[in-house]
Structure 1
Amino acid sequence: MVDERAYWLAWSQIPGIGPVSLRRLQQHFGTLATAWQATKSQLGEVEGFGFQTLEKVVKQRSHLHPEQLLTKHQQENPYFWTPADTDYPRLLLETPSPPPILYYRGEVELQENLGQKPMVGIVGTRQPSDYGIRWTRQISAALAKNGFTVVSGMAEGIDTESHMAALKAGGRTIAVLGTGVDVIYPPKNRDLYKQILSAGLVVSEYPGKTPPDRTHFPRRNRIIAGLSRAILVMEAPLKSGALITATYANDFGRDVYALPGRLDDHPSQGCLKLLNQGASLILKELDELLTMLGAVPQLDAVTAPTPEQLTLPTLPPELQQVIDAIAVDALPLDFIVQQTGMNIGSVSSALLQLELMGLVSQLPGMRYQKN
């Protein structure tokens, strides 16, 4: 039996073949195992595979043996997911560039349920003001107490404050690293790293022992955005990695929220720019924010028939299954996936069709309600 994980790993070892190219290969050939056996001319039919790329593929492929590579890799990096694994985070898989290998360390229960828990990213400057710290702590704690997993990057400043506040509130948190999952950066966060391992996860697309590199951190921001239902930018100057995360969030169709600040405050200039570009405002009434993010969904009611169901037009089975899963109140995308047992691509496609039919509406926080 072919292990598709081995081929995700093997393809990822070829220079010049990144997450976008791998997604294109999968879509063109159906599986990466099939793509591995494809001829040079067949590979040339894939978008982005020009002469130089094809030469690299043919040369490197002859030296790689996927099954052997997987066995050796598992000895050095035993804990990782590929898009072929059912535990791979569902929302991240929906993005155009999901990491072909996502390494993890941490608490087992969270590993098994990562795709089923609502996640919200919190990002911001490494040098926050007292104002930014205070609101980061309040919002992170509120999210944690209401069942959300707080996602951030374990950098100094806002990231560190969000992780610590979520843990202190008894909640879950995920740190997305720009190093290997066994490398603690910054070193001063050693204690925080240990706490996260006991009540959360650290994840990275880089293998073990990978040291910090300035090019890694902007790239890891797409993973923070991809994992999250929404991104909250707490404080960010105009030149800030948090704005990169917000840009990814917009590209991925996630909601972006920003904490307002004074016009003459340097740490708030990036947030003010986001608000000017259409980001939602984080207000003092946190209950409103939690509602917008989809807190406390009514899971008990998702299978109960409603009067509306009796008057719906006859729908194809997949569409009917999705609309049956939506309760009277709005339900987040990840919970619809959980209730239907369908993959996220099929659910997203069904929801789009239901929207076009006027039967479903999308709300902020990637939530859907019946019309």
Structure 2
Amino acid sequence: MSEERVYWLAWSQISGIGPIALQRLQEQFGTLKAAWEAPAAELRRVEGFGKQTVEKVAGERSQLEPAQLFEKHLEKNPKFWTPADADYPRLLLEIPSPPPIVYYRGITNPDEIQGKIPTIAIVGTRNPTEYGRRWTRKISTTLTRSGFAIVSGMAAGIDTEAHRSCLDAGGRTLAVLGTGVDIAYPKENRPLCERVMESGLLISEFPSGTKPNARNFPRRNRIIAGLSRAVFVMEAPQRSGALITAHIANDFCRDVYVLPGRLDDEKSHGCLKLIDGGAGVIPVDLDQLLEQLGAIPQLDVPVQLPLFEPEPPPKSEPERPNLAPELLKILDAIAPEPTPFDLIVEQSGMDAGTVSGLLLQLELLGFVTQLPGMRYERK
């Protein structure tokens, strides 16, 4: 056992000391053990550790004995990772705020932990329409059969559909909980949690016995985004936890894809807002989606060109499609090679919101394909 594991746990018990503060302590002292043993005066040298913080840390750590705390903690929490462990999920180490403790139940997969098996998050509203449910099942099943692992939050609605469809297709799914890994929430998903543990993982940064609390769910969303190479938002109103996950994913440099919906459907307003902000649109042709996901760089090799190169433009001028003038203007603004969104806006002379909406129409009509990095090409 790594001695540092003991001190990751000990520091996580100090109130007000989160992932960022732990990283600063590690950078300052080299190890969290050295930080734990450092005099209060030396803690003052750490960024963000003012007089009150240092006094609180000194008072709380004097009441703890790390080795005893660790042994007692193991009684109720036998399985957990810390950043000091070789099997701590690699993708979580890339984010600015990796959880100091990650509890889990189920079956681990070393290739998945090291990022060799691609993981995709599917999130959305707890009250989806039949349209949202149907497309969640379709996309989760397609991704699973194509070798992806599915990540979601075990909430009612879209999350439940994503987990269940993945399992029905014979795949692995990771459920990131806002409770302890021993508590099923909502209660109706207890059988689903049992199924997940048979082949996948329940994951949480909260210890066993932690009951549902509204403050915990936004925190778990960063883990959903961090564990994933891309995030799919299926249906989401304006105020939705799925939008939090999408914004965090964008901050973590993960690709974000959105299921387009009707303009008069309140459950799609959050998705439409993400599209307006530049998120990718899930294409009708799921083979095309798999091509786009195939362009995500692998973690174990240098970044290469996309696996699917765009076809060279035809030598002869193609027949112009019968489209509305504004759609033709957008189509003309797209060069023969993949064109960035900002350049399309500049070439068309339209505002970004209008261009985003017109590009969506062209995608749905099959004239345009969106590539990673907010680039577009003609089909």
SS at match of 2:232: strand
User: Could you tell me which amino acid in structure 2 is paired with residue 115 of structure 1?
Assistant: Q
Name the CA distance, whole Å, in 2 between partners of 1:36 and 1:253: 33
Partner of 2:253: 253
Runs ≥4 in structure 1, deviation > 6 angstroms? 295-299
Name the CA distance, whole Å, in 2 between partners of 1:296 and 1:7: 36
Quick check: 2:152–2:162 contact (8 Å CA) kept in 1? yes
Quick check: 1:146–1:295 contact (8 Å CA) kept in 2? no
Name the CA distance, whole Å, in 1 between partners of 2:52 and 2:307: 49
Name the CA distance, whole Å, in 1 between partners of 2:250 and 2:181: 27
Describe the superposition over 1:21-59 as per-residue Cα deviations: whole angstroms up to 9, x where unpaired.
112212222211111122222211212111211111111
Is residue 120 of structure 2 the alignment partner of residue 120 of structure 1? yes
Correspondence 1:72-111 to 2 at 5 A: 72-108=72-108, 110=109
Name the CA distance, whole Å, in 2 between partners of 1:269 and 1:24: 39
Picking from 372, 375, 379, the partner of 1:364 is 372
SS at match of 1:175: strand
Partner of 2:326: none
Partner of 2:66: 66
SS at match of 1:232: strand
- Cα distance change on mapping 1:113 and 1:274 into 2, 3 Å: closer
Partner of 1:264: 264
Percent pairwise identity: 61
Partner of 1:315: none
Name the CA distance, whole Å, in 2 between partners of 1:182 and 1:113: 22
Partner of 1:8: 8
Partner of 1:208: 208
- Cα distance change on mapping 1:233 and 1:70 into 2, 3 Å: same
Partner of 1:52: 52
Describe the superposition over 1:149-186 as per-residue Cα deviations: whole angstroms up to 9, x where unpaired.
10000000000000001011111100000000000100
Partner of 1:176: 176
- Cα distance change on mapping 1:111 and 1:77 into 2, 3 Å: farther
Name the CA distance, whole Å, in 1 between partners of 2:307 and 2:62: 52
Name the CA distance, whole Å, in 2 between partners of 1:111 and 1:266: 41
Q: Structure 1 residue 294: deviation in Å?
A: 2.5
Normalised TM-score (structure 1): 0.79
Unaligned runs of 5+ in 1: 303-321, 332-362, 366-371
Q: Structure 1 residue 330: deviation in Å?
A: 5.0
Partner of 1:154: 154
What's the C-alpha RMSD, in Å, of the aligned pairs?
2.2
Q: Structure 1 residue 112: deviation in Å?
A: 6.9
Unaligned runs of 5+ in 2: 309-370, 374-379
Describe the superposition over 1:173-214 as per-residue Cα deviations: whole angstroms up to 9, x where unpaired.
000000000001000011111110111100000000111011
SS at match of 1:293: helix
Describe the superposition over 1:307-341 as per-residue Cα deviations: whole angstroms up to 9, x where unpaired.
xxxxxxxxxxxxxxx64xx667659xxxxxxxxxx
Q: Structure 1 residue 298: deviation in Å?
A: 9.4
Q: Structure 1 residue 250: deviation in Å?
A: 1.1
Q: Structure 1 residue 75: deviation in Å?
A: 1.7
Quick check: 1:147–1:295 contact (8 Å CA) kept in 2? no
SS at match of 2:144: helix
Relative contact order, higher structure (CA 8 A, sep 6+): 1
Correspondence 1:190-229 to 2 at 5 A: 190-229=190-229
Say which one has the larger Rg: 2
Partner of 2:327: none
Is residue 279 of structure 2 the alignment partner of residue 279 of structure 1? yes
